[in-house]
A and B are shown apart, each in its own frame.
Chain A
Amino acid sequence: MMDDLCNRLADNLDDAFGEVVTMLADDVYSGLRQMAGLHEAEDLTQETFIRAYGALRTYERSRIRHLRLRGWIWTIALNLGRNHARDRSRRPTPVALEDRHAVHDPEPPDSAAWNRRLSALSPTLRTAVVLRHVVGLDYADIAEATGRAEGTVKSDVHRALRKLRSIMEEEA
């Protein structure tokens, strides 16, 4: 499905880009909530897709055809999570601002606890475990997103899970 979308993006970026947003917005939003914080996540997710569109416009078609889209979008999102530079004053914004909060999913009761547990991990371990288990990326996509070897990423995820388990045992 992603390969097919990449082909359509290569053929007509403007027509197909909306599908990238539809398909990956939950991924990016869910992951950024656990990495950049609940309040920043919405803005950063939006910014991720805006930058992704800008980047795709500069790519050769063959490069777009061969993208690992799900991992690639995270190269941008992770970068933004580190560096919040934005320029909102140059952009049109939707008019119906009062709707923005009405459609948020309800917070799970243990949301704050998980935020605290994940914050206790090093950024590298947190990124790996969030991308694997909250977002649901496979190891090859995480390797693409983080620029680390697949084997290293796998061990990052295992170490993160071990650490989380011990944090939860301490709580109990």
Chain B
Amino acid sequence: MTIQSRLADLRRHAPRPLSTSVALATGLTPGFAVYEAPFGEVAVSFTPSGIRSVRLTSEVDPLALEAQPPSAWAKAIPRALEEGRPGRLPLDLASLTPFRRSVLAIAATIPKGEVRSYGWLARHIGKPGAARAVGSAMATNPVPLIVPCHRVVRSDGHIGAYSLGGAQNKWVLLRHEGADPDELEELAASGVRFLASRSTGMCCVPSCRNARRITARHLEVFPSESAATNAGYRPCEVCRPFD
């Protein structure tokens, strides 16, 4: 045997997982991992650029491979799911329009246990007429739980629909984080949009943490912004109800 042919015999097949590793590491194939949510399991998919989607485990992207997320995110993912905000976790939202990205960015600022309306979000991105478009951005939010679209309710105050497994999951999530969806529904049904405190002179959306501190003796309720401002109330600085 020549040296040349003995050298040629040193050729080996690359180990099989190599192409999978490369596909995951380049982001050409998204990876996914399963996490516990208050209503059951969810599949979180990711590329090296960030989190790409949160879906029910029955609806995982068929192209995604079960994978370990980058170790730098191992703790950040469950924390983001539990807190309902991305924190430092990067999101891979490059495929969304700038409008949708800005809606998600504002929605991510809604505090745990509180809700805001589509109209409130529309005003906060500087497009007060866009409540309907905001609703559709929420309905197609690729990263529910992490961007907490469960905290965004109809402009009339009703809890409304939810994309991740249906409206009942929105109720489960809101209860889980200390909100009272039954009470919010009752207020909405009776036309109450704002709660005000006679002692502070402040007016809030019903789920604002300041609104929840108003005692029954000081509470005044209003169906509209104009009714509240005509009565002399100032907007709360936490929930900024009229912005």
Residues of A within 8 A of B (CB): 14, 17-18, 21-22, 25-26, 28-30, 33-34, 42, 45-46, 49-50, 53-54, 88-96, 99-101, 103-105, 108, 110-111, 114, 129-130, 133-136, 161, 164-165, 168
Contacts and interface: CB of A to CB of B under 8 A. Distances in A.
A164 B8 contact: no
A27 to B, nearest CB: 8
Nearest to B22: A49
Interface residues of B, number: 37
B19 interface: yes
Given A26-B13, A30-B10, A30-B12, A46 B25 contact: yes
A96 B233 CA distance: 60
B18 A45 contact: yes
Contacts of B68: 92-95
Consensus secondary structure, chain B interface = mixed
Contact of A90 (B4, B14, B72): B72
Contacts of B22: 21, 46, 49-50, 53
Contact of B18 (A42, A89, A95, A101): A42
Contacts, number: 129
7 contacts: A14-B28, A22-B19, A29-B14, A46-B18, A93-B67, A96-B17, A134-B7
Contacts of B13: 26, 29, 105
Given A29-B12, A33-B12, A161-B4, A93 B72 contact: no
Contacts of A14: 28
Contact of A91 (B7, B33, B70): B70
A95 B66 contact: yes
Contact of A103 (B16, B21, B31): B16
Contacts of A129: 7
Given A46-B22, A164-B3, A165-B3, A94 B17 contact: yes
Interface of B: 3-4, 6-26, 28, 31, 33, 46-48, 65-72
A111 B67 contact: no
B133 to A, nearest CB: 30
State the 8 A-B residue pairs at the shortest beta-carbon distance, nearest first: A29-B14, A133-B7, A25-B14, A92-B31, A103-B16, A30-B11, A92-B24, A91-B25
B20 A94 contact: yes
A130 B26 CA distance: 28
Given A25-B19, A33-B10, A168-B3, A92 B66 contact: no
